[in-house]
């Protein structure tokens, strides 16, 4: 029986993880669950999985949760804040930690799991985008094990040789082909992008996900973040990572070898597959995902990404080439801009513009230590807000 902590258990990945765990109660035991402010969602999960601890982001949510638990006579201990998240991430009774908080908010708790030497199921790609170099150094130093949950990276992991630490060339890999659906606006006339709404952006054609990653998929910043993620996870130079538009989301990514072989991982677009893979690796367990019906799929299409339609993808490649704190700036500006778009303070096409201008305004520094990265994250959020203010005051619209 393996103990499991889920950071971000009330979200899309968190709930899919609990769905897989519920199918294997003989193999996995929930030790800790964490959420932001969804007290009702957390109460339901605690009732069903009786974790040792549950963590809420703030003290108010935590005390409401504690009250609800005591009314139901559930003995789960309630903690709050960053300290609570770090305790959940490093608790000795959990061998496995699912990192599924969204955004840079997940960085410190995810790092706590790394430093405790856990098997880390990494969904929180922003943690690697902000602090990739430092993060991978900590993984090495503490003997942690990372299994990628992002469907593309999980697919690449399944198609890769065992050890890529010496670099791709060393193990005969020519390049990584990261597939991308192109999101809901792949074929929308360019001029219509100016007026798309948050609900249109969140209506992904193939995947059901949280709102932030759904918007990232619509701008293709998600794929940009994934290029950065792949760079760190697989020790791959950015020019060895190619993005391939594949609207059906059936091939989750591919690895091309020097002998001309291309290995792909296919499956229905359902995150329970990579979750089950990573939970049980190197074994296989059922995930609840149905068989892929190739006759129903019938065809698989591929295309080049259009960088005019998707400037965020270009910005992400530029940030990784710039190195240092550039990816932390890119990520923070994107989080601020996406949040503003979701609350209808910024137009969809303003997202890339805000990220680009924030990158132009902040000088890139070497990203040696956590303090520098956290300072950069804070600074980029302030600058991105200023950029948005200026856009509104100079044009009257965002
Ligand atoms: P989501 O918004 O559905 O869930 C996020 C979870 O994090 C929730 O439990 C929420 O309560 C918690 N949370 C949010 N802000 C927090 C904060 N400040 N402090 C503490 N907890 C906080 O997001 P999601 O779609 O499940 O995505 C989670 C992560 O997984 C993201 O990094 C995303 O990029 C990645 N990912 C998601 C999918 C998917 O299919 N949803 C696929 C690949 C990767
Ligand atoms: Mg992905």
Domains of the chain: which residue ranges? 2-148, 156-268+291-297, 323-395
Ligand 1 atom with the shortest distance to the CA of 14: 26
Measured CA to CA, the distance from residue 125 to residue 152 in angstroms comes to: 12
Is the distance from the beta carbon of residue 81 to the nearest atom of ligand 1 less than 6 Å? no
Distance 245 CA to ligand 1 centre (A): 24
Measured CA to CA, the distance from residue 123 to residue 233 in angstroms comes to: 12
Measured CA to CA, the distance from residue 316 to residue 292 in angstroms comes to: 32
Query: Is residue 235 predicted with pLDDT exceeding 70?
Result: yes
Q: How confident is the model at residue 108 (pLDDT cuts 50, 70, 90)?
A: very high
Is the distance from the beta carbon of residue 123 to the nearest atom of ligand 1 less than 6 Å? yes
Q: Which protein residue has the closest C-alpha to ligand 1 atom 32?
A: 124
Classify residue 25 by burial, with Cβ atoms within 10 Å: 0-12, 13-18, 19+. exposed
Contact between residue 211 and residue 268 where contact means Cβ atoms under 8 Å apart: no
Contact between residue 32 and residue 8 where contact means Cβ atoms under 8 Å apart: no
Query: Is residue 165 predicted with pLDDT exceeding 80?
Result: no
pLDDT of residue 23: 98
Query: Is residue 43 predicted with pLDDT exceeding 70?
Result: yes
Query: Is residue 100 predicted with pLDDT exceeding 90?
Result: yes
pLDDT of residue 9: 98
Give the mean model confidence (pLDDT) for residues 232-259: 97
Ligand 1 atom with the shortest distance to the CA of 10: 9
Q: How confident is the model at residue 318 (pLDDT cuts 50, 70, 90)?
A: very high
DSSP per position, 127-168: HHHHHHHHHHHHHHHHT-EEEE-SHHHHHHHHHS-S--TT-T
User: For a substitution probing ligand 1, which of 209, 336, 339 has the most ligand atoms within 8 Å of its CB?
Assistant: 209
Please indicate, yes or no, whether the overall pTM of this predicted structure exceeds 0.85. Answer: yes
Q: Which residues surround ligand 2, an ion (CB under 5 A)?
A: 150-152
Is the distance from the beta carbon of residue 126 to the nearest atom of ligand 1 less than 6 Å? yes
- pLDDT, tens digit, for every residue of 350-385? 999 999 999 999 999 999 899 999 999 999 999 999
Query: Is residue 396 predicted with pLDDT exceeding 60?
Result: no
% of residues, the chain, pLDDT over 90: 93
Q: Which tokens hold the place of 73? A: 């006579």
From the candidate CATH numbers 3.30.110.40, 1.10.1740.10, 1.20.1270.10, 3.90.1640.10, the one assigned to the domain spanning 323-395: 1.10.1740.10
- Whether 323-395 and 2-148 are alike in CATH topology: the answer is no
Q: How confident is the model at residue 343 (pLDDT cuts 50, 70, 90)?
A: very high
User: For a substitution probing ligand 1, which of 7, 12, 20, 179 has the most ligand atoms within 8 Å of its CB?
Assistant: 12
Contact between residue 25 and residue 49 where contact means Cβ atoms under 8 Å apart: no
Contact between residue 263 and residue 171 where contact means Cβ atoms under 8 Å apart: no
Measured CA to CA, the distance from residue 292 to residue 280 in angstroms comes to: 21
Is the distance from the beta carbon of residue 209 to the nearest atom of ligand 1 less than 6 Å? yes
Q: Pairing mode, if any, of strands 262-266 and 241-245? A: unpaired
Give the mean model confidence (pLDDT) for residues 125-129: 98
Q: How confident is the model at residue 391 (pLDDT cuts 50, 70, 90)?
A: confident
pLDDT of residue 169: 85
Domain 2-148 sits in CATH at 3.40.50.720
* SS3 label, residue 244: strand
pLDDT of residue 60: 98
Measured CA to CA, the distance from residue 51 to residue 309 in angstroms comes to: 45
pLDDT of residue 384: 98
């Amino acid at each position: 029986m393996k103990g499991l902590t889920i950071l971000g258990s009330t979200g899309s990945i968190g709930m899919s993880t609990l769905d897989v765990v519920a199918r294997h109660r003989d193999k996995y035991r929930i030790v800790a669950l964490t959420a932001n402010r969804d007290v009702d969602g957390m109460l339901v999960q605690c009732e069903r999985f009786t974790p040792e601890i549950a963590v809420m982001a703030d003290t108010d949510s935590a005390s409401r949760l504690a009250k609800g638990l005591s009314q139901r006579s559930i003995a789960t201990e309630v903690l709050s804040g960053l300290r609570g998240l770090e305790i959940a991430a490093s608790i000795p009774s959990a061998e496995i930690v699912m990192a599924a908080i969204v955004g840079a908010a997940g960085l410190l708790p995810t790092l706590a799991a790394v430093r405790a030497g856990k098997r880390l199921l990494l969904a929180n790609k922003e943690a690697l985008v902000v602090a990739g170099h430092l993060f991978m150094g900590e993984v090495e130093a503490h003997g942690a094990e990372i299994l990628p949950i992002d469907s593309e990276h999980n697919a690449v992991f399944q198609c890769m040789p065992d050890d890529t630490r010496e670099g791709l060339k060393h193990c005969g890999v020519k390049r990584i082909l990261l597939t991308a659906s192109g999101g809901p606006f792949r074929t929308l006339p360019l001029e219509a992008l100016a007026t798309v709404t948050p609900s249109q952006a969140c209506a992904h054609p193939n995947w059901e996900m949280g709102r932030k990653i759904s918007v990232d998929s619509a701008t293709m910043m998600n794929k940009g973040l994934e290029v950065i993620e792949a760079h760190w996870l697989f020790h791959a130079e950015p020019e060895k990572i190619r993005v391939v538009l594949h609207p059906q989301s059936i091939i989750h990514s591919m690895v091309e070898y020097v002998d001309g072989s291309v290995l792909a991982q296919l499956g229905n677009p359902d995150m329970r597959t990579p979750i089950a893979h990573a939970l049980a690796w190197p074994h296989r367990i059922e995930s609840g995902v149905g068989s892929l019906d190739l006759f129903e799929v019938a065809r698989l299409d591929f295309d080049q990404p259009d960088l005019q339609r998707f400037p965020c993808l270009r910005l992400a490649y530029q940030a990784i080439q710039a190195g240092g704190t550039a990816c932390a700036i890119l990520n923070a500006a994107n989080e601020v801009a996406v949040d503003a778009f979701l609350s209808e303070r910024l137009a969809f096409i303003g997202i890339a513009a805000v990220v680009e201008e924030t990158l132009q305004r902040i000088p890139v520094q070497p990203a040696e230590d956590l303090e520098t990265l956290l300072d950069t994250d804070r600074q980029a959020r302030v600058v991105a807000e200023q950029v948005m203010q200026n856009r509104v005051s100079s044009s009257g619209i965002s």
